[in-house]
Every structure is written in C-alpha cells, then in structure tokens.
Amino acid sequence: MKRLVMKFGGTSVATTDKIKQVCQLILRQKEQYDDLVVVVSAMGKTTDKLLAMAYEVSTRPVAREVDVLLSSGELISASLLALHLNDLGCSAESFTGFQAGFRTSGSHRKSKIEDLNPTLIETALKRGEIAVVAGFQGMNKDGDITTLGRGGSDTSAVALAAKLGAKCEIYTDVDGIYSVDPRIRPQAKKIDRINYEEVVEMAHQGARVIEARSVELAAKYQVPLYIALNTGEVEGTYVANFTEQTGERKMEDFKLTNVSAIENILLVSIQGLPNLSFESSKCFTELAAAGVNVDILNQVILDRDNSAFSFTSDMDSKPEIIEVLDRMKLEYTYVENLNKVSIIGSAMRNQVGVAAKAFNVFIEQNIPFYMVSTSDISISYVVKAEDKNTIINALADAFGL
C-alpha cells in the first residue's frame, strides 16, 4: 500500500487562493497514492500575529493559554483546506493534533512528541478520505494543548509518516536544497540527493529550508523526505541515506555539499581562569543555568597555572552572559555581530586537504577569522559580518558549489 504525508508551510497556505492552489497538487498526488495525509502550518504570519495579540492583552501571558491561542492558527488552515477539498469532490476531514494522536511532554511552547497513536487517521484513510492534520501541536498527560516549538509542523509530518509507514513530502516557497543560499549566490546549485546527516548539519549551521529536529526524526525512523516548491512543478531535493554502495551518490561521493552561515554571533574571551579549576567549571555551569547556549569553545593555556577561554553564542544571550561574568568578577572582552560560515559535506570523512584548501581561500581573500571549529562533516569559521558574502562565494568557487 502506497502512503504519503504531504506538509505545507505557512507561505504555502498564506491565503485562501494559495490554499486552493495546493489543493490541486494534493489531488494530483491522490491519484498516485492509496492513502494521503496532509499536515499544515498556520496561514502566513498568523502565529506571530496571535503571539502579538497575547501581549496586547497580557503583560505576562500564561504559557498554557498562549499554546491554546497559537494552536488555533493550524486549525484554521486545516479546516479551510479540508473544506475546499470537499468542495472539489474529494472527501477530506480535518484533525487537531490531539485527534491525530499526538501525545506530548515537556514545556509549553517547546514540547516534544512523547507518543503518537493515529487511530482516527487510520479510520479516515480506510474510508478513503484525505486526513488533514493541524501540525505543531498535541496534548500532554494533563489534557493541556501544547505546541512543539520551532519546526513543529515539519516534525508532526515526519512523525506521522514514520508511524504510518509513509513517505514525507515537505512543500515550501523554495524548490529544494541548494549548495549556497541563492540570495547570496544566484548561481548556487540545487542538490538533487543529500544524506540526512548533511541536512541536519546544514540546519544547525544556518540553512533555513527545514529544521534539524524533523530531519533527525526522519533519519531515526528512515523516513524518505522530499523537499520541493509548493506548486509541485519543479523537481525538488530527496533526503535519505544515499551511499556509494547503493550507486545513488557515487559521482558526488568526494564533493562537499553546502556552505551555510549564521548571523548575529557574539564572541566572548575570558582571561586568567585557573587551569582545571572549580571556577572554570562554575563559569560554564552558570552560563548553562542562565539558558546560554555555548557553541564554539576554545581554551588556550597561558602558563602552568592559567588559561584563557573563548566561546561563541548568539547575540540574544548577551545580557545573560554579561550578568554571569560580572557576578563572578571575571575579566572578559567581547566582539559583537559576527557571522559563522560553515562548509559541510560527508565527503570530509574520506577527503584529505579540505581544511588546507579552505585556509588558502581565506588567505587569498585577505579575510581573517576569529575562531575555527570542526566536526565529522563540517568546518566552521567565525568572521566579520561584512566578510560573510565574500568568503561564502569564494569558498563556493573553490569547492565547486
């Protein structure tokens, strides 16, 4: 039995006219599959508008009530889409996240899927209906509606695909995944096939096509993903485990995949912390307790007794970082509004000389970097904001992206 889960983001269902357009794509896919489930986000900027309204009526909105409010956005999209499908003669039924079987845990606004029991969805599919599900939401053990946070609708779609044994197609306002953001590099190449781990790394390093958590879930349950333009008229990008052994990526096996960037980086340098001291440990424990995410961390041993630490975080965490360091009476400096540029590709495991080649690009462009970090499939450089586009294009040229 061929099953498909289709997910449409906010831009794809931003107006009733756009909802009518995506219904045509849904009908075309219905001809190809036995069972079809559609997951939708809220229309356009509805979530942002609803959140703003919450603050118009409350100075400190209660998280539970905010989740109830925000969840209504997806319900509107789902019901409108189901209404139009029925108008087109295609039987469809909309479902809340709870009705679809999503059981959640964790905090409001950023809960996680604890379990999924799509009994009502299965029943609708057996009746030959298209099930239209409100993404981004579920219900916790206390019977409260919760929302899944950033990327929640993508995660809802992947979870349903995993449970139903279906493929998952994610439709958005871009026609796939590119080697570089086309707004920075118009000649960037669209990637036909890419591995889960590369997309996860891209998402963590600034690419905005899909959230990392949904791809991590797809990789865990081996759900084939397809990311494409919401018109369905242009071939998109397939995400799975493509290997040389399968013959599906042999020609690209020793190529890098992507150059991505994250803006608004804060670089903090702390001087004179004792080596292997409780004070060093306490510093980063206090930062974590304040909700600060430390990304890149470097230590330089100054002498037998003292070290200097440098780390990066996002600019939004600056007040919390300063409060912790001042409270601990530490000596520090910081540089604001930097960018992190990353080159990404599973080919790094087998290819020698990637770091050297990238280093030469920085030299040729006369662009310094503040910090560098590496992972199994990426190398990241912290640079000035004004150098971001230049170095991205230069790296893309050097690595054929």
Measured CA to CA, the distance from residue 93 to residue 208 in angstroms comes to 31
**Domain architecture of the chain: domains with CATH:** 3-250 (3.40.1160.10), 259-398 (3.30.2130.10)
Q: Is 89 left (phi over 0), alpha (psi -120 to 50) or beta?
A: left
Q: From residue 226, how far is each of 13, 200, 230, 235, 394 by CA, in Å?
A: 19, 14, 12, 9, 29
Cα gap 79→169, rounded to integer Å:
20
Task: Express each pLDDT in 34-64 by its tens digit.
Answer: 999 999 999 999 999 999 999 999 999 999 9
In this predicted structure, what is the pLDDT of residue 277?
A: 66
Q: What is the 3-state secondary structure (H, E, C) of 300-321?
A: EECCCCEEEEEEEEEHHHHHHH
Residue with tokens 């190449």: 189
- Residue 348 pLDDT > 90: no
Measured between alpha carbons, how far is residue 209 from residues 18, 49, 149, 239 in Å?
20, 22, 16, 12
Residues 230-235: what's their mean pLDDT?
A: 83
Average pLDDT, the chain: 91
pLDDT tens sequence across 262-311: 999 999 999 877 766 677 888 889 999 988 899 999 888 877 777 888 99
Measured distance CA(224)–CA(240) in Å, rounded:
5
What are the C-alpha distances in Å from 178 to residues 190, 196, 228?
Answer: 4, 15, 11
Contact residues for 211 (Cβ-Cβ < 8 A; gap 6+):
150, 151, 154, 155, 203
**Token pair 């899909």: residue:** 210
What digits encode the pLDDT tens for the residues 121-163? 999 999 999 999 999 999 999 999 999 987 899 999 999 999 9
